[in-house]
Each structure stands twice: as structure tokens, then as C-alpha cells.
Amino acid sequence: MSEVLEGVQVVDQVATGGEVELDGLSKKYGTVQAVREVSLSIRRGEFLAILGPSGAGKTTLLNMLTGFEKPTSGAIRIDGRDVARLAPHKRGIGVVFQHYALFKHMTVAQNVAFPLRMRRMSPREQRSHIQHALELVKLEDFATRFPDQLSGGQQQRVALARAIVFRPPLLLMDEPLGALDKRLREHMRVEIKRLQRNLGATVIYVTHDQGEALTMADRVAVMNDGAVEQLGTPDDLYERPASAFVADFVGETNFFQGRTVLDADGRVRVVLDGDRTGHRRDVDNAESLKADCGVEVGVRPEQVSLLPVEGTDGPDVVGKVCEVLYEGATALHVVETAIGNVNARLSLKNLRETRWAVGDQVAVHWDAHAARGYHVADRNSSPSS
């Protein structure tokens, strides 16, 4: 016997593996290309986050993995077996979606027990698994309640408990923490990751929340317009974004317009628009840039320093502090300059002697390794072009 729930899929046999291979996977709805030739290899026991804005193709990609959508082209292999044309219940995976999809006539414990009963687990084993799953989602005192006696966040936690209770080797999750409050969401990030490591399960986790992706995932695939724009570890994406889109979507970034020039030493450098000194600046990824092209230079706010104007030379730009926003351990300083407004996130611990105030004249500085350049045409073109 096998059954498919609206929010969680359960099968008689748990898949023995957890390696996933997507090869040229595409999905087209009429003339709309929702997913564009996505190729990914997800290792056994890996936690992969698929990150992107609404409409990027994340959920469509996940639905093809579950079997709820058929690909237009491409292959999906789980442990070497092509499952792209298999029905959902034959894929041996666990799934939790945004929607709760709970049985209204069953208690919390009965909902969570459902996948275990489908696997004919003994009542004694069921009780142990149910108790542990409910403790993970902080619902151990709600076992006898019915779904309509729970808040939306509590219902989503029941759905999550039901998905993890049978410890599947491959778990697909689509925005599972979206209905939870901030504190519980942060707790569940840790618990889901800890459980995944303990069980050795492979997790593919769809989210638009960069915090979830960066804190939970071993690797992150950033999607834009149906394609994977960058695949890498969280620190790769944050410190070395491959495109202006990734730099803008993952974290905060200052962008400055400019143009590349070729120096006599053969190195490409950048002159920023509005910089009346015409200073030629180094960027960390100069080898990937072409000369005489329009570019955007991206710099993270925490990589920006504010210095006294006296003695300023080199590439530093002078400006005026127009906003100071207290953030606790840091303060965001907004500085008006000739190259545009610059956001600088400064540690208050390091500002004990010098605290900048609105109206102060400052020199804006960043190191060359903190700046990355992106061709303007690349941001304006789609992945398919």
C-alpha cells in the first residue's frame, strides 16, 4: 500500500540512498519557461538550499522532484535511478510543503503517526518516534489536540513533525518555516539541521529567506528566472557572489556605476561614475571583466570603513554622513558622496573613541579585495539569452 498526502508523501519502502542528480531539467508552461535546464548533483547526506525570489522557479523545480509536475525535458536520478516519469509514491521520499494539509478529524499525535502506520510500525515504536518529533517542534503538550484548535504556526509544525517522524533519507521542504514566529523559526533551523546530520538524510530545502539558506545549508543554489545563477557554499555566495543579482539578493550590497579601463600593466581596473579624481580602482575579480565596458561595483556595507578626512588620499571618497541607524552591536551609517549614497555598517565596539554623527565629513574607504565588478549587460539579460 502507498499513499500520497497533500502536504506529505509516504511510501511503503524508504529509499536506501539519498544521492540526487538533476540533468538538464526544464519545465515549460505554454510559452513560459519556468525552469531552464537545471543541472545539479546533490551528495548523499547533503543539505542543499534552493534560494531565490518569488517566480524564480524554485517550487516548480521541487514539484518536479516530488513527481507532482512532469518535466518538459531532462532527467531526475535518485541513487542512479531515473525517476522523472515515476509517480510520486514510487520515489521513496518525504515532502513537506507550505500548506498544512492535516487530517482535521485526527489529533496531533494521530496526524504525526500516519506515516508510521503506513509503514506498519509497532505501536510502541510509534510512541517513541511521535514523542521525539513533537519535542523537536515544541508541541509535546499538544498531542491530543485537533488541528482546528491550533494556530497556523502550530499546524505547520505538526506538518513538519509528520514529515520527519519516519526519518526519510531524502526530504524535500518548501518554505516549511514560513508560518512560524522569528524565535521558533530560529530554533527550528538548528533542530532541523541537527536531525538531518544525525540521520544522514539528504535535504533539498526551498526558501526565499537568505538567512535560512545561509545558516542551514551545506551548499546553496541561487535561482533567477528559472536558472541556477550560482551554486556554492554559503561563504562562497556571500563573499564571492558571481553576479550582481546574487550580490543584491544574498545580503546587502552597495552598488556603484562605473566603467572598466585597461592599464599599461594589462590589468583591468574601474573608474567610478562621479569620482572627479578619476582614480583607477582594483576589484577582486578583475580577471573576469572586459575592458571598456559599463560595470557595477559591489561592496558589502560591513566592508566599508569611515575615516577622518584629514590626510585622505588614494581612492577614498569624501562625503557627509546623512543617517545613523542604531542596530545594537552595529550602526548603519549612510554617507552622501559623489559616487552615490554609501552604506557603512560599523561595529559600535570599535567606535568607542570616534563616533560619527549626522553632518560629519568623512572619507569612505574599502579594500580592493572587498569590491567585485559586474558587467551591466549581465544584470539586464536573462539566463536564457
For residue 86, which of 102, 65, 72 has the smallest C-alpha distance? 65
Closest C-alpha to 17, from 72, 89, 93: 93
Q: Where in the chain is the domain with CATH 3.40.50.300?
A: 3-239
DSSP conformation letters of 93-105: -EEE-SS----TT
Q: Among residues 206, 251, 200, 248, which one has the least CA distance to residue 48?
A: 206
Note the pLDDT of residue 221. 98
Taking the chain (385 residues) in consecutive chunks of 10 residues, what is each chunk's mean pLDDT?
A: 39 54 96 96 95 94 93 94 85 77 93 89 93 90 95 84 82 84 83 80 93 95 97 96 96 96 92 91 94 96 93 82 94 96 91 80 95 82 44
Q: How many CB atoms within 10 Å of residue 303?
A: 18
Q: What distance in Å separates the CA atoms of residue 381 and residue 385, rounded to the nearest whole number?
A: 6
For the entire predicted model, the pTM comes to: 0.84
The four Cα atoms 180, 184, 185, 189 give a dihedral, to 10 degrees, of -140
Residues 6 or more apart from 219 whose CB is under 8 A from it?
46, 47, 48, 49, 231, 232, 233, 234
Residues of the chain with CATH 2.40.50.100: 252-380
Residue 182 has phi, psi (to 5 degrees) of -60, -45
The SS3 assignment for 147 reads helix
Closest alpha carbon to 345 in 334, 332, 355, 335: 332
Q: Which residues contact 135 (CB under 8 A, 6 or more apart)?
A: none
Closest listed residue to residue 339, CA positions, set 276, 251, 292? 276
Q: In angstroms, what CA-CA distances link 291 with 71, 242, 257, 281, 283? A: 41, 18, 15, 13, 13
Q: What is the pLDDT of residue 12?
A: 36
How far is CA 241 from its chain centroid? 13
Is 312:364 a contact under the CB 8 Å cutoff? no
Q: What is the CATH number of domain 3-239?
A: 3.40.50.300
The set of cell numbers assigned to 148 is 482546528
- Rg of the chain over all Cα atoms, to the nearest angstrom: 25
Fold designation for 252-380? OB fold (Dihydrolipoamide Acetyltransferase, E2P) (2.40.50)
